[in-house]
Amino acid sequence: MRQNHRWITRVVGAPLALPADVAQEARRLMSESRAKNTQRAYAADWKVFAEWCAAQGRQPFPANPDTVAAYIVALSRGTVDRLQPAHPRKLSTITRHLATISVRHREAKENPVGHVAVREIMRGLRRDRRKAGEAPRRAAPADLATLKRLIAAIDASTIGGCQDRALLLLGFAAALRSASIVGINVEDVKDFGTHMTVTLREEKTRQTGEPRVVGFHSPDGPLSVRDAIRAWTRLACIKTGPLFRRVTGSGRIKDKRLGAWAVTRAVHRAAATAGLKVSTLRSHSLRAGFITEADANGASLTEIMKVTGQQRPETVLGYIRHTDAMRGSAATKVWGGVEKKK
């Protein structure tokens, strides 16, 4: 019997000979292997690379190491899109572009990103940027004091304000990333009286396997997550589906869930009203603030990681900033002694 197989798709360098109906399902499952935000970022970065290659008369796939090396230089100089003045890309952006090219070339015979010359260029670029004082851009942690100011600045009597308050409080209490916040459904949040839980079905570092349940405390008063969520769901008449939804300018609540970008906008709105420095705060400030505050109050790495879902202790340590720098510091003891002598 003749088998009607076609070469449909490739995965990690290995071509798969599949019937058309099987290939369609295989493509669907492959598309689910990465989060939607990751897929969008890869698609956007590949578009930039392909357009640059076309302008330079180069081949984007399969690309050779010379092409990738030249692209790194163009990104570093900011001449990729011919903007005037030039817009040099940050090291983190260049690294992400290389990751996109690398993923795309897994089906090629050779991956140009792994070439020794490309690796050496990136190593030199990292040293060069470090000497120039470029540091990874980090969101300022929104500790409890900052969170109180943000919440106090929100007018919860409005539809938008009511949602912003619930969104910020839940994001802080459960130390959530923005994509996790907007991915929550009403039925994912449970209230057990003494504590609450939220079920996370997909996360940045855990896109497969069983959903993760995060337990958190809801204090009484203006920082009550319980009260904020109840107020929002009642006002919006939401019982199932996306917890946080898009709101039109006229105040109409849509069925479509918010995009991850909306969390930073909510933080910025509250920060601007509160008179805080907007440029230092964004969605990740909520997560960073929880970790910083938990550490300041004596929580262990294990306890913090149980909430955040992070798998590497060094990742958590990167968040612990102001408190860890001064805890047990000789400088604190010296100036503390001066104060006591006064």
As a whole number, mean pLDDT of residues 100-116 equals 85
pLDDT, tens digit, 9 for 90 and up, residues 174-227: 999 998 999 999 999 999 887 899 999 876 655 556 788 999 989 999 999 999
HEC per residue, the chain: CCCCCEEEEEECCEEEEECHHHHHHHHHHHHCCCCHHHHHHHHHHHHHHHHHHHHHCCCCCCCCHHHHHHHHHHHHHCCCCCCCCCCCCCHHHHHHHHHHHHHHHHHCCCCHHHCHHHHHHHHHHHHHHHHCCCCCCCCCCCCHHHHHHHHHCCCCCCHHHHHHHHHHHHHHHCCCCHHHHHCCEHHHEEECCCCEEEEECCECCECCCCCEEEEECCCCCCCCHHHHHHHHHHHHCCCCCECCEEECCCCCEEEEECCCHHHHHHHHHHHHHHCCCHHHCCCHHHHHHHHHHHHHCCCCHHHHHHHHCCCCHHHHHHHCCHHHHHCCCHHHHHHHHHHHHC
As a whole number, mean pLDDT of residues 35-46 equals 78
The answer on pLDDT for 29 being more than 50 is: yes
Q: How confident is the model at residue 315 (pLDDT cuts 50, 70, 90)?
A: confident
Q: How confident is the model at residue 9 (pLDDT cuts 50, 70, 90)?
A: very low
The answer on pLDDT for 325 being more than 80 is: no
Average pLDDT, the chain: 82
pLDDT of residue 116: 92
